[in-house]
Amino acid sequence: MDMLLYDQEGGLIKVLEIPVELHRSLFRETEVWRSYLELRKIRDYYKANVNLGPDEIKRFQDDLEQISLFLSPCGKELARQLISEIKVNQPWKVRITGDQVLSSIVMGYFGWVRPRQQQALIRTKKAREETQAE
């Protein structure tokens, strides 16, 4: 499962992995995940296709911090690392995808992009070029 982090203009900042081990820790080591709205959205490892805005990203981080109290030491460390990466990159939008969804997104970056995605990529590229020219 992967997290695609985007800036305000829709440009891809970074792709993070949600390790299988963390996913297993969250959803198999404990049943308390049902109490966390944002975590419930990613329970299905292969079919998840979730978009989070700024408020939801914050709640997702909070959910991870709170549930980590119930995880094994390994699960706690993986959750801490993921939270840290999200905080460092400060995304405006996050897309969490299962393996099936990610492959279509990656293909999009190599030329097979839907029109709306193509427009966002063009805007991001132009903005970066203008910034570099200054």
**The pLDDT value given to residue 97:** 85
Q: Using 50, 70 and 90 to split pLDDT, how confident is the model at 112?
A: very low
Listed by start position, the domains of the chain span 2-133
CB-CB neighbours of 100 under 10 Å: 11
Q: Please give the mean pLDDT across all residues of the chain.
A: 80
**Whole-structure pTM value:** 0.70
Alpha-carbon span 57 to 86, nearest angstrom: 9
Q: How far is CA 102 from CA 8, 81, 98, 116, in A?
A: 21, 21, 6, 17
Placement of tokens 């699960």 in the chain? 75
Higher pLDDT: 132 or 31? It is 31
Q: What are phi and psi of 4, to 5 degrees?
A: -100, 120
Q: Answer yes or no: is pLDDT of 132 > 70.
A: no
**What is the rounded average pLDDT of the residues 98-106?**
53
> pLDDT (tens digit, 9 = 90+) per residue, 40-88?
888 776 666 889 999 999 999 999 999 999 999 999 999 999 999 999 9
Residue 89 is predicted with a pLDDT of: 93
Average pLDDT over residues 21-36: 84
